[in-house]
Amino acid sequence: FQAWVGVSSAILLSALTAGLESGQLEAARQAGWPFVAVVLFSALVVSVFAHTAYYGLIQRYEANLIAPLTLMSPLFTIAFGIVLTGDAFDGRMAVGSALALLGVLIIAVRPNFSLPRAALVRNAPE
- 71 touches 100 (CB < 8 A): no
Q: Please report the pLDDT score of residue 124 as a whole number.
A: 43
pLDDT digits (tens, 9 = 90+) for 60-90: 988 877 877 777 777 888 888 889 888 889 9
Distance CA 25, CA 28 (A): 5
Output the pLDDT for position 117.
58
Question: Taking the model in full, what pTM does it have?
Answer: 0.47
